[in-house]
């Protein structure tokens, strides 16, 4: 087999990767040139329609082209320059009335000057990925470059540890996976009822130790749990934990275990050849 034909299979993934990258850059560039912009959803007000961490593709639009039910991004006059992405709940001669799925109708009326644009696409999780990317890429680059001067047998183990540390640092700094926020709290003769929204990226389980009642909620979903009584400190306690199947942990940790095992076996064959 010639060297050229042997190298061909290796070039296929590289070529495909370059093609995909060029297509992505082209789409993004054309979107920006058309006046579009990218925004990240940071609040859970839209529930599952636009969960926290979603990337929003917002295109400028005329006020008369917006209809009830459209998802729009607005910059209210009294919001200090902040933008909000909510549904259009009604149209009036003065402008648009908007509201969140979970937060209710907004107090403002939006005219053309305060309309940033209409949301054409909602990409769940992608906004979070872009937020984490700078720190994660910097740490991953350090994890791969730092062991370059170590003996070859140590490079892979050190890189595995480095990548694990990089992921851990990013998760600790940004804490994107588990985030439960309380929406409502009502007390009565039989205890309290608490309503929560999942503003994280993994399913969560709520549990009230006093009653054993529990509920699960995916990203952007809400759940209500009843609490019968307070604890010794006079608090109504609800525990929040990830609700992931057991195979998820194997999916996350399995590749690292296989890499480490393969490296160990390879080193063993090198030191003790048959």
How far is Cα 226 from Cα 228, in angstroms, rounded to an integer? 6
How far is Cα 254 from Cα 251, in angstroms, rounded to an integer? 5
Determine the pLDDT at residue 6: 47
Helix (H) or strand (E) holding 120: strand 115-123
**What are the two backbone dihedrals, phi and then psi, of residue 196, each rounded to the nearest 5 degrees?**
-125, 160
Whether the per-residue pLDDT at 177 is higher than 50: the answer is: yes
How far is Cα 138 from Cα 205, in angstroms, rounded to an integer? 33
**What are the tens digits of pLDDT across the range 225-251?**
999 888 888 888 999 999 988 777 777
How far is Cα 215 from Cα 205, in angstroms, rounded to an integer? 6
**What are the tens digits of pLDDT across the range 8-48?**
555 766 677 677 777 766 766 666 666 678 899 999 999 99
Residue 185's alpha-carbon distances to 84, 182, 190, 195, 236, in angstroms, are: 25, 8, 13, 7, 10
**What are the tens digits of pLDDT across the range 124-170?**
999 999 999 999 999 999 998 988 888 888 888 888 889 889 999 99
What pTM did the predictor assign?
0.77
Give the right CATH number for 180-243 from 2.30.30, 1.20.1540, 2.60.40, 1.20.1300. Answer: 2.60.40
Beta bridge partners of 227: 192
Query: Residue 51, exposed/middle/buried by CB under 10 A (0-12, 13-18, 19+)?
Result: buried
Give the right CATH number for 35-123 from 3.40.50.720, 3.40.50.2300, 2.10.109.10, 3.40.50.10330. Answer: 2.10.109.10
Residue 219's alpha-carbon distances to 29, 128, 187, 188, in angstroms, are: 30, 13, 26, 29
Q: What does the domain layout of the chain look like in residue ranges? A: 35-123, 180-243
Helix (H) or strand (E) holding 268: helix 246-271
97 close to 105: Cβ distance less than 8 angstroms: yes
Beta bridge partners of 91: 96
**What are the tens digits of pLDDT across the range 73-103?**
999 988 888 999 999 999 999 999 999 999 9
């Amino acid at each position: 087999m010639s060297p050229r034909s042997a190298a061909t299979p290796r070039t296929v993934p590289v070529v495909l990767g370059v093609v995909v990258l060029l297509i992505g850059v082209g789409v993004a560039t054309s979107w920006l040139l058309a006046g579009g912009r990218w925004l990240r959803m940071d609040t859970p007000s839209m529930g599952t329609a636009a969960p926290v961490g979603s990337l929003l593709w917002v295109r400028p639009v005329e006020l008369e082209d917006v209809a009830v039910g459209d998802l729009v991004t607005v910059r209210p006059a009294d919001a200090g320059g902040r933008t909000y992405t909510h549904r259009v709940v009604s149209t009036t001669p003065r402008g648009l009335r908007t509201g969140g799925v979970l937060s209710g109708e907004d107090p403002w009326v939006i005219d053309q000057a305060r309309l940033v644009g209409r949301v054409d696409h909602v990409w769940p999780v992608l906004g979070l990925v872009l937020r984490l990317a700078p720190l994660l890429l910097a740490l991953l680059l350090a994890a791969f470059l730092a062991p370059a001067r170590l003996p070859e047998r140590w490079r892979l183990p050190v890189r595995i540890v480095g990548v694990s540390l990089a992921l851990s640092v990013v998760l600790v700094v940004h804490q994107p996976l588990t985030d439960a926020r309380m929406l409502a709290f009502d007390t009565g003769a039989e205890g309290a009822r608490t309503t929560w929204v999942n503003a994280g990226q993994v399913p969560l389980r709520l549990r009230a130790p006093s009653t054993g009642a529990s509920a699960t909620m995916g990203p952007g979903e809400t759940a209500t749990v009843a609490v019968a009584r307070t604890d010794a400190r006079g608090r109504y306690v609800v525990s929040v934990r990830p609700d992931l199947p057991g195979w998820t942990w194997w999916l996350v940790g399995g590749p690292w275990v296989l890499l480490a095992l393969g490296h160990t076996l390879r080193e063993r064959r090198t030191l003790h050849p048959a």
